[in-house]
Amino acid sequence: MSEQKWALALHGGAGQISRDRITPEKETVFRAALARVLEIGTTLLDQGADALDAVEAVVKALELDPLFNAGRGSVLTSDATFELDAAIMRGSDLQAGAVINVGHIAHPISLARCILENSDHVILAGDGAERFALQHGFQMVGPSYFDTPHRREQLMQAKEAATVSLDHSDFKYGTVGAVARDVRGTLAAATSTGGMTNKHPGRVGDTPLIGSGTYADNATCAVSATGHGEAFIRMCVARDIAAQIEYGNLSLADAVHNKVFVDLPKIKGSGGVIAVGRTGLPILSFNSNGMFRAKAGQGSQPLIAIFGD
């Protein structure tokens, strides 16, 4: 395959994000974090790295940052425990790996990739996933690794209000993700999340479900979603975007628009997606007030954005 221009996009959650909810100081912090992580991925792709390496590196960096609801800084369940999910997919051969409800893995996205590369299965959950991690040299971490005062406060507020929230106070839907195309034309997608504040233990959202929150196929596109997971599961959002391109010959922009602005609102689904196709720059689309997002393409200016405008 002839060399193509690389492209990359990432998200850090979508939801009721507006200027009256974020101080200028906080906005500066978020923008700096998005720019820093975007540079990690663009540097790799510019050096000829595989798309899978780029999306894993980007999501690992987001998992390390307590600003985002993934890895360190994840939200807590109603039992005040941590249940993290992640998925990764390679578009060249449709290989995928995912983990559900792990509480002792610092980087769930790396465990998802380990499953992709070292297992006949696609998804491993709970204790079984962590046993697999130990067998492949992963170090376990304790709950204190993920714990932050901010998330404890969110859980207390959610319990007092008797609500379940994707990121309490309607601030954002807490998921991180990345999609990339490398210079060989390979597509990849990766998504990671801490889930919902005060969620029932065992709840699973769209993030680790291939075709709902994460999907990649070189023939069409790579997609990572963020939003109300139950709606994204019911709508099979990520795969359906690819299917509209495959069977309907739609453009990536039109397929994303249909899913985000036509289909999801039918069931009051709120959130957004990032997607990259076989050519061109990524599409970043959301039907909520805002989405923490960034994108870059070889030879183009990077974009760092938060609000709906």
* Alpha-carbon 309 to chain mean position: 22
Answer yes or no: are the C-beta atoms of 16 and 288 closer than 8 Å. Answer: yes
Answer yes or no: are the C-beta atoms of 179 and 187 closer than 8 Å. Answer: yes
- DSSP output for 107-152: -HHHHHHHHHHH-S-SEEEHHHHHHHHHHTTPPB--GGGT--HHHH
Answer yes or no: are the C-beta atoms of 69 and 42 closer than 8 Å. Answer: no
pLDDT of residue 171: 46
pLDDT of residue 167: 45
User: Average of pLDDT values for 113-141?
Assistant: 98
**Poorest-pLDDT segment among 169-178, 179-188, 189-198, 250-259:** 169-178
Q: Kindly list the catalytic residues.
A: 175
pLDDT of residue 276: 98
The predicted-structure confidence for 155-167, as pLDDT tens digits, reads as follows: 788 777 776 655 4
pLDDT of residue 170: 46
pLDDT of residue 164: 64
Separation of alpha carbons 309 and 289, rounded Å: 9
- DSSP output for 172-203: -B--EEEEEE-TT--EEEEEEE---BTBPTT-
pLDDT of residue 165: 54
pTM above 0.85, yes or no: yes
Given a cut of 90, whether residue 20 has pLDDT beyond it is: no
Rg for the chain, CA atoms, rounded: 18
The predicted-structure confidence for 21-52, as pLDDT tens digits, reads as follows: 788 999 999 999 999 999 999 999 999 999 99
Separation of alpha carbons 12 and 116, rounded Å: 23
Calculate what percentage of the chain has a pLDDT beyond 70. Answer: 95
Answer yes or no: are the C-beta atoms of 276 and 187 closer than 8 Å. Answer: yes
pLDDT top residue among 174 and 137: 137
The predicted-structure confidence for 201-211, as pLDDT tens digits, reads as follows: 999 999 999 99
Instruction: Give the residue among 19, 62, 11 at the shortest CA–CA distance from 40.
Output: 62
User: Average of pLDDT values for 54-75?
Assistant: 95
User: Average of pLDDT values for 133-157?
Assistant: 88
User: Average of pLDDT values for 130-134?
Assistant: 98
Given a cut of 80, whether residue 2 has pLDDT beyond it is: no
> Which pLDDT band holds residue 172 (cuts at 50, 70, 90)?
very low
For the chain, the straight-line distance linking the first and the last C-alpha, in angstroms and rounded, comes to 38
User: Average of pLDDT values for 270-275?
Assistant: 96
Please name every residue paired with 221 in a beta bridge, in sequence order, or none if there are none.
217, 277
